[in-house]
Amino acid sequence: MSKINTDDLITGILETVTTIALVGASNKPARPSYQVMEFLQKQGFKVIPINPGQAGGEILGETVYASLEDAPGPYDMVDIFRASEAAGDVTREAIRLSDDKGISVVWMQIDVVNDKAKIEAEEAGLVVVQNRCPKKEIERLGL
């Protein structure tokens, strides 16, 4: 992600994305992934929770799916709440499913950085944001 146009890039993403698959979603209100999902829903985004341990359940009124592959498309963005190492596998799954599901953006949350996965995704034509939170960016940019 170019430092020069970071705000423009993020604004463009957040103004065009409509549906987000949130990997690492939690049903615990104290968890950041729950809080971000709730915030994004209030902003008008459809958020699909992904968590294999809670698949078939519900978080904030949405059915939880075990994987990106299981989640019904289309969705534009994959928001990753997982460790940096695990973000690689999630990103590769997003690349593999991008045409079928309509994925154009991989977003890695604060403290989630995987440069190898970022390069792979960008080479596959996806836009990648690392080490940022869409909730905080929406608030910071006044979107």
| Beta bridge partner(s), residue 22 | 49, 79
CA separation for the pair 30, 7 (Å, rounded): 29
- Arithmetic mean of pLDDT, 25-32: 97
Domain annotation for the chain: domains and CATH numbers = 6-141 (3.40.50.720)
Confidence (pLDDT) at 1: 46
Q: Give the mean pLDDT of 108-131.
A: 97
Q: What is the pLDDT of residue 129?
A: 96
Query: At residue 3, does pLDDT exceed 80?
Result: no
Query: Could you identify the residue written with the tokens 């809080």?
Result: 35
- The structure tokens listed for 71 are 């989640």
Can you give the pTM of this predicted structure?
A: 0.95
